[in-house]
Amino acid sequence: MAAVDRPVIKPRPVYLNLFAIRMPLPAVVSILHRASGALLFAVGIPLLLCTVQRALVSPEAWAQMRVALDMPFAKIVAVVLAWAFIHHLLAGIRHLLMDAHVGVELAGARRSAALTMVLAILLTLAIAVRLW
């Protein structure tokens, strides 16, 4: 076949129904890395600045912050953000290790993905237990 006869655009199947695709564990870690990052940006940064600023005003303001953090809703927000931070940090360390060619083969990547998920959940649970 001459070069000019080749079709320019090959019809390729596009199949991106996220609810029908079975995501392997490394993909789950990856999308959660992204989601946790977005959450830390949208909620984490402004909340962090607010909290630090308020808690530095006076001992009374500090005490108020402690009381506020005792509310169930505040605890839930704190635990979710703690999970986002821990998952993002661990997934990031996994990324850096892979940059250094550690654990890039399939079995190792699956193991480190599982480790990231489990460790993030366990550490978050430990924080939740301390808060309640």
Q: Is 23 in the site for other proteins (CB under 8 A)?
A: no
Q: Is 118 in the site for other proteins (CB under 8 A)?
A: no
DSSP helix/strand/coil, 113: helix
Q: Helix/strand/coil (H, E, C) string of 51-110?
A: HHHHHCCCHHHHHHHHHHCCCHHHHHHHHHHHHHHHHHHHHHHHHHHHHCCCCCCHHHHH
Stretch that binds other proteins, among 6-14, 42-50, 113-121, 124-132 (CB under 8 A): 42-50
Q: How many residues bind other proteins (CB under 8 A)?
A: 21
User: Among positive and negative, which fits the CA dihedral 64, 70, 72, 78?
Assistant: positive
Q: Which one of residues 41, 108, 118, 125 is an interface residue with other proteins (CB under 8 A)?
A: 41
Residue ranges in 45-104 that form contacts with other proteins under rule CB under 8 A:
45-46, 49, 52-53, 55-57, 59, 62-63, 89, 92-93, 96, 99
| Closest separation in Å from C-beta 12 to other proteins | 18
